[in-house]
Amino acid sequence: MLRAFVLDIDGVLVRGSAPVPGAAEVVRELRRRGRVLYLTNNSTLTREAHATRLASLGIPAEAEQVLSSGFSAARYLSERGMDRVHVVGERGLIEELRGHGIEVSAEGGCDAVVVGLDRSFTYARLAEALVHLQAGAELVATNRDSTLVTEHGRVPGAGAIVAAVEAASGKKAVLAGKPSMLMGRLVLEKLGCAPEDALLIGDSISTDIAMGRALGMQTVLVQADRRGDAGGAEHVITSLRQLLELL
């Protein structure tokens, strides 16, 4: 019996600034049936801001239900006593780190360089990150998504920036977001049930479905064309509303 539902935000529930048709209806029914969690590799917003964004679109959500790549990165650093970092990223990531007692500074030494989506990324920022990495800082990536989905199509994602930093430094980043087990551990902590009693709904084979399968959860892939590769997902649906029919 399914007791928990884990939904990817961007691509499954939301595309850019618009909700996916039927998202609010589906989430309300899932909440009636069990626990609901939201996953996102988007580090530009805090968990609170993600929940507010969903609620503004009619999708009921609280901050404690949201697990983001920024939150996962902050947990990783905090648990390892890394309390001073340099950030290539935006305000949401900085706020998540500070919420865990981590100092974000552009000057002096640091324990790690944390890279997320940064829509103001420049050559100068790449060079600044490289200085810290050459001095021994660890490299942490919120995610490796090379592109992200908007209402206008795909645009460059954090993974493109991570790739540039890795290429310049020669260092391999520790991955905090999906499909890493750093994020997976947070999911298991929040489920409130055995993984086999949970259903993960995502639109990416390489992040959502891969992580759900690694955790032992049941998986549903949302994709426009059923003829595509299912990536090992137990079920494939072409619209979110079909999830209720599947259940």
The CATH code of the domain that includes 46 is: 3.40.50.1000
Q: Please tell me whether residues 139 and 82 are part of one structural domain.
A: yes
Q: Please tell me whether residues 93 and 154 are part of one structural domain.
A: yes
Whether this prediction's pTM lies above 0.75 is answered by yes
Q: Please tell me whether residues 89 and 132 are part of one structural domain.
A: yes
Q: Please tell me whether residues 65 and 103 are part of one structural domain.
A: no
* Catalytic residue of the set 10, 145, 203, 208: 10
Q: Please tell me whether residues 195 and 127 are part of one structural domain.
A: no
Q: Please tell me whether residues 217 and 142 are part of one structural domain.
A: no
Q: How confident is the prediction for the chain on average, in pLDDT? A: 94
The mean pLDDT of 146-160, rounded to a whole number, is: 86
pLDDT of residue 149: 72
Confidence grade of residue 3 (pLDDT, cut at 50, 70, 90): very high
The mean pLDDT of 103-127, rounded to a whole number, is: 94
8 is an active site residue: yes
DSSP string, the chain: ---EEEEETBTTTEETTEEPTTHHHHHHHHHHHSEEEEEE---SS-HHHHHHHHHHTT----GGGEEEHHHHHHHHHHHTT--EEEEES-HHHHHHHHHTT-EE-SSS--SEEEE---TT--HHHHHHHHHHHHTTPEEEES---SEEEETTEEEE-HHHHHHHHHHHH-PPPEE-STTSHHHHHHHHHHH-S-GGGEEEEES-IIIIIHHHHHHT-EEEEE-S-TTS--TT-SEEESSTTHHHHH-
pLDDT of residue 226: 66
Q: Please tell me whether residues 118 and 145 are part of one structural domain.
A: yes
The mean pLDDT of 182-187, rounded to a whole number, is: 97
As for how many domains the chain has, the answer is 2
Among the three residues 160, 175, 190, which one is the final residue of a domain in this structure?
175
* Catalytic residue of the set 8, 145, 203, 208: 8
The mean pLDDT of 74-79, rounded to a whole number, is: 98
Residue 213's domain spans which residues?
4-69+179-246
Confidence grade of residue 86 (pLDDT, cut at 50, 70, 90): very high
Q: Please tell me whether residues 138 and 94 are part of one structural domain.
A: yes
203 is an active site residue: no
Among the three residues 152, 175, 198, which one is the final residue of a domain in this structure?
175
Among the three residues 175, 195, 227, which one is the final residue of a domain in this structure?
175
